[in-house]
Amino acid sequence: MPICKLIFRLDFNFNFNFIKNQGSIFEILKNGLTGKTIKNIDFGENINNRLMFARYLSDDKHFFKQLNVQPTNIDGIFENTKGIEMSKLIFDEDGFLSLTKTVTNFCRELKIDKILRSGFRILYFNKLCDSSKEINDAFFRLFRNESISKINKCLGKIEDYGILFNGISVENIKYHLRTGPFTQNEFPNYLNYTEFELKENEKYDFMIDLDLYEENFLLSKRDISKLYLPIIDKAEQIIKAVEEIIEINLEG
């Protein structure tokens, strides 16, 4: 299950320790964002927005990660054009693991205890069909024919299909789920920092854009990576369920 992009963010009340401890924050950025094989990190700040950041782009421009810290939020982004399996995500020392360990240190340094919102968004790509027509037909079958006919009559023939869900799980995890057919020409719409060769990505014909988040809770002393474990597990369940729905509709 290849994930090519991951974004996470913690929102909290204005933290005055950020103003007082900027030296410590820089040291955490300096020492924490490096991974098993990554050493060369760029640092910067935006004084007007009270923003400090660290980022890395690999020489081949296939791998990127960045961490931003402000008085009201911490957010990170990870892109990998080659993708990473969901099951390996939390063990990825150069990507997710290094980001979340650094965020854990920030929360301890800034003495953050209450989280207003904790969000986790992934962009997932896969290949389910042998042709674009097959995947489009599978999504077409998810809609009632009379609904499609009415839209065709008013606006013209529909050439692409997608689905959007918003909801909340029994564990009180809220979600935005968007899924649909995908072509490699759409990659620039989703990967903003990395570069890729089309031949590497011709295998993908299906995508899921999934945003999972929780609101208003107290942060325990556990690692941030462990905080995201239930969300990652929920994401894996959702992706599996969506793929099963599409595969059933491939059969007509």
pLDDT along the chain (252 residues), means of 10: 84 92 85 66 82 87 89 91 78 72 87 90 88 82 74 78 87 89 83 71 80 88 69 84 84 63
pLDDT for res 10: 92
Amino acid at position 24, single letter? S
CB atoms within 10 A of CB 72: 13
Record the tokens describing residue 59, joined without a space. Answer: 């020489």
The string over 129-157, giving b where at least 16 C-beta atoms fall within 10 Å of a residue's C-beta and e elsewhere, is beeeeebbbbbebeeeeeeeeeeeeeeee
pLDDT reported for residue 166: 93
Distance separating alpha carbons of residues 12 and 14, to the nearest angstrom? 7
- C-alpha to C-alpha distance for 1 and 4, rounded to whole angstroms: 10
Let me know: does 77 contact 90? Beta carbons within 8 Å: no
Predicted pLDDT at 133: 81
d(CA 226, CA 62): 27
* Cα–Cα distance, 158 to 15 (Å, whole number): 49
What is the pLDDT, as a whole number, of residue 222? 58
